[in-house]
Amino acid sequence: MKPVVSNPVFVHPQGLCESGDVGAGTRIWAFAHVLPGAKIGRDCNICDHAYVEYGVTLGDRVTVKNRVLLFDGVTVEDDVFLGPAVVFTNDLRPRAAMKRGRDEFLPTIVRTGATLGAGVVVVCGSTIGPHAFIAAGAVVTRDVPAHGFVVGNPGRLIGWACECGMRLGDTLACACGRSYRQEPAGLMSIRPPD
């Protein structure tokens, strides 16, 4: 069976893409399911067994690794990495007998350049700041500042991450040449790499 390719979007023969709003260069692999109403940017990679529900928005160049679950109300900006088995929730008080409408879901936002490691769980209503780094297995229960380095359950801020992904020391300077200063919203770049 040949892969389905339309408007340079690649859909594996065992992948299911029901959205008409998928950017050029995006790849959707086997057993991934993208529902109608999902918005996917350019050059994304949606790996095996990922689930992207209606009402999800992914920016450009987003990596969605295997078994990631994205539910209605989740917005992921450009250049975000979602590791294997990352799970987003959208209902803070789920009950099987009570069906809540979309207007009751709490939105979740993952800002540009953030990384979520394998097995991260994001409780709805959280905003993960630009270039934040969430370590594998962490449970995000509140907002994460820009460049925040978060570990554990519940997730706690233990330091900072450079835009290149390296953990920053006390000087907030990275071997890549970038350096930062701390602001109320997280870190702010004060020097790009040389």
Give the length of the chain: 194
Q: pLDDT-based confidence at 4, cuts 50/70/90?
A: low
Q: Is pLDDT larger for residue 5 or for residue 135?
A: 135
Question: What total of structural domains would you count in the chain?
Answer: 1
Q: Could you tell me if residue 187 is inside a domain?
A: no
Res 3 pLDDT > 70: no
Report residue 100's pLDDT band, with 50, 70 and 90 as the boundaries.
Answer: confident
CB within 8 Å of 87: residues ≥ 6 apart:
68, 69, 120, 121, 122
| CATH number of 85's domain | 2.160.10.10
This model's pTM is above 0.85: yes
Boundaries of domain holding 43: 4-162
Residue 69 DSSP label: E
Q: In the structure encoding, which two tokens stand for residue 174, read together?
A: 């990275």
Predicted pLDDT of residue 2: 54
User: Is 15 a member of any domain?
Assistant: yes
* Average confidence score pLDDT of the chain: 94
